[in-house]
Amino acid sequence: MSIVKSLQEAVVKSLNSLYNTTFTEKDFQINLTKPEFEGDYTVVLFSLLKTTGKSPDALGQELGNDLVNNNPTLFTAFNIIKGFLNLTITDNFWLQLLHKNYNDICYGTQPLNGKKVMVEYSSPNTNKPLHLGHLRNNFLGFSVAQILKACGYEVFKSCIVNDRGIHICKSMIAWQLFAKGATPQSTNTKGDHFVGEYYVKFNDEQKRQIAELVATGKTEKEAEKQTQIMLATQQMLQDWEAGKPEVMQLWKEMNSWVYAGFDVTYKNIGSDFDKTYYESNTYLLGKEIVQLGLNKNVFYKKDDGSVWIDLTADGLDEKLVLRKDGTSVYITQDIGLAQQKYDEYKIDESIYVIGDEQNYHMKVLKLIAQKLGVSSANAIYHLSYGMVELPSGKMKSREGTVVDADDLVEEMISTSKRHTEELGKVKDFTADELVHLYKTIGLGAMKFYLLRVDPKKKMVFNPEESIDFHGFTGPFVQYTYARIKSILRKETIDISKLISTSLLKNEKEVLVAVEQFPAVILEAAKELDPSKIAIYIFNLAKTFNSFYAELSIAKAENEEKKQLRLQIAMITSNILKSGMQLLGAEVPERM
């Protein structure tokens, strides 16, 4: 049980016995005591004044006395300052916490809870390479999966590959028109980048043709739909759904190029999936479900043959679910997939890590699924995250301002190499060990950077300033870990000794932080917010570093203090490692 819960229970008990009324833990607030005051945790008394009819001072005295008298193992002293009851926790409480957990690498995690949850993330389109925004998505999805596992869920990571549809046909058409048979091999280009170039070429050509049509007097909107290249693309989509052999063959080949490229990127950044779905397989199920929905009158058909759902009663619009030419749109296959996920995994929760630009889409999806009676409809949860922007605003592929994922990873790794070489602390490492270290630090920095801010909020990335390696960063946490490991390699912990010593300020501060870890994981899981973990492990590392600077571990005043500090160091290193793992990042033993 967390210290805060213990405190709440103790306070409720004291209040009930003192004032003969029934209180709950919601009637008051418990905070960490501000550093400038004496004490560890604080009860805010203001909200209790009315019900008790006491002055802040009187209430504080009575409650403080009762708490200290009745909980001698928990409290040693109290003081009252302007309506705040500051409580000092016994050193023994912190020592017991340490004794029980210092060697437990699972500290903070929960036992299995029997619930199954699917986390869908990454979900790339096979028409262009991954960029910075995808990295945020990938890191978020992976981290959320880790956090949920730590809280006892059985987690399935899934990925829906958007491998078909009009956007894929665009790069295919452009390849036919402009490539002259070129391939990734022939041009020595990574497959996803190669195909991405043709997607850009499509847009250039489309723009050119629109301009031509506009010059003949058409409106921009008309022109968009009537360009030759767009008409050819639409035809290709129909041919694809009809299974036309040469279209299928080109499609398969170009996708295989992209997958080869994605595999490299995923392996590099450490994303993996328990199940990969392909839209080319799921869209048919979606179409079937649309047919079922028509039979149930959830959907209706317009005169031109297109199929719609009317969501105006729910405050939304009419939404197309099948085009007039019978081809499916984005949402069609999503409806099918929602069903399929449930059928295959019987999941209790279904999380979709998708950008906030699709908030409306996801709202519609859930509503449609509910109306259709899809089993897992209520379990659908959109983990909506904000876009990664540049100082100049949104990334735009047409203006060439997109930060490519592979480039950024490469840059982070070379930056970590440069820093490491400058510091010259690992000159005895083998070449392989160095490569691994550079990657650990570079990726650690990048993952931490993208996960340390609230997922819901958009964030700004400045490519001009490389991601930092000092302060509130992954390398800071990694460095703290490596320093601890350096000590633990040299010293041995004697578990036969039971420590009972009074705690110095720096020692207690670390233990207070240590105690919070389990609660922080639960909070992060509840909010699906890895930034809670990042902020916490940074604070823990910072607190430890102050302790480390102030007090010697190896040369402590006496053997008991030395054992105490070794254990504090050990549990800190375990938490830093676990915490980084929850972010999908590693820690190096040396750096």
Partner RNA sequence: GACUUGGUAGCUCAGCUGGAUAGAGCAUCAGCCUUCUAAGCUGAGGGUCAUUGGUUCGAAUCCAAUCCAGGUCACCA
Which 257-296 positions form the footprint of RNA (CB under 7 A)?
A: 279
Residues 120-159 that bind RNA (CB under 7 A): 125
Q: How far apart are the first and last CA of the chain?
A: 36
Q: Does 359 bind RNA (CB under 7 A)?
A: yes
Q: By three-state DSSP, how is residue 318 classified?
A: strand
Residues 413-432 that bind RNA (CB under 7 A): 416, 419-420, 423, 425
Q: Does 47 bind RNA (CB under 7 A)?
A: yes
Q: Does 16 bind RNA (CB under 7 A)?
A: no
Q: Which segments within 71-171 are labelled E, that is strand?
A: 75-81, 84-89, 116-120, 154-161
Element spanning 547, H or E: helix 531-550
Q: What are phi and psi of 355, to 5 degrees?
A: -60, 155
Q: How far is the CB of 400 from RNA (least distance, A)?
A: 17
Asked whether 463 and 446 are in contact (CB, 8 A), the reply is no
The single residue among 16, 21, 37, 51 that binds RNA, judged by CB under 7 A, is 37
Site size toward RNA (CB under 7 A) is 90
Q: How far is CA 311 from CA 241, 264, 328, in A?
A: 28, 42, 19
Asked whether 451 and 139 are in contact (CB, 8 A), the reply is yes
Residue found under tokens 């058909």:
301
Q: How far is the CB of 235 from RNA (least distance, A)?
A: 13
Nearest to 105 by CA among 579, 424, 587: 579
Question: Contact region for RNA (CB under 7 A) — 95-103, 139-147, 149-157, 450-458?
Answer: 450-458
The single residue among 93, 199, 345, 476 that binds RNA, judged by CB under 7 A, is 476
Q: Does 84 bind RNA (CB under 7 A)?
A: yes
Q: How far is the CB of 462 from RNA (least distance, A)?
A: 7
Q: Does 475 bind RNA (CB under 7 A)?
A: yes
Calpha distance 124→250 (Å, rounded): 19
Q: How far is CA 339 from CA 348, 362, 379, 568, in A?
A: 13, 15, 11, 49
Q: How far is the CB of 156 from RNA (least distance, A)?
A: 22
Q: How far is the CB of 311 from RNA (least distance, A)?
A: 11
Question: Contact region for RNA (CB under 7 A) — 40-48, 135-143, 254-262, 287-295?
Answer: 40-48
Question: Contact region for RNA (CB under 7 A) — 114-122, 184-192, 477-485, 510-518?
Answer: 477-485
| Pick 155 or 445: Cβ nearer RNA | 445
| Pick 373 or 391: Cβ nearer RNA | 391
| Pick 194 or 548: Cβ nearer RNA | 548
Residues 213-252 that bind RNA (CB under 7 A): none
SS3 of the chain: helix, strand, coil, percent, to 5: 60, 10, 30
The single residue among 54, 131, 157, 167 that binds RNA, judged by CB under 7 A, is 167
| 471: Cα separation from own chain's centroid | 21
Q: How far is the CB of 86 from RNA (least distance, A)?
A: 5
Calpha distance 232→234 (Å, rounded): 5
